[in-house]
Amino acid sequence: MESIKESTEYLKSLNKKLLIYCDPTDAVALDKDQRQYLAEEFNDFVIAFAMKNTSVMVPIVFSLISKFNKLQFPMKMFKTEEAAIKWLNTFR
């Protein structure tokens, strides 16, 4: 959790709203508290969030984050990085 907090604080310190692309290929599964923390903190600085679907688990995690957290930004899953970036660029 500490590295998640450090990364989030760094992104907040940039003092700008961000478009975020996530490829969770090598990511470790997040627990409930970590998902909740990220969802709450991301509301402060995220314009839109795109995630690449890299496994069977990604849609499940994506669904949990979407369903149980009050996100103030759009979040969408994609099969390819190119499609995700194209969607994110619509928010520029």
Q: 30-70: per-residue pLDDT in tens? A: 788 888 888 889 999 999 999 998 877 778 777 877 777 78
Cα separation, 46 vs 75, whole angstroms: 10
Whether the pLDDT of residue 9 is over 90: the answer is yes
The mean pLDDT value of the chain amounts to 88
* pTM (two decimals): 0.84
Between 46 and 28, residue with greater pLDDT: 46
With a pLDDT cut of 90, the percent of the chain lying above it is 55
**Cα–Cα separations (whole angstroms), residue 44 to 8, 28, 37, 38, 79:** 10, 24, 12, 10, 27
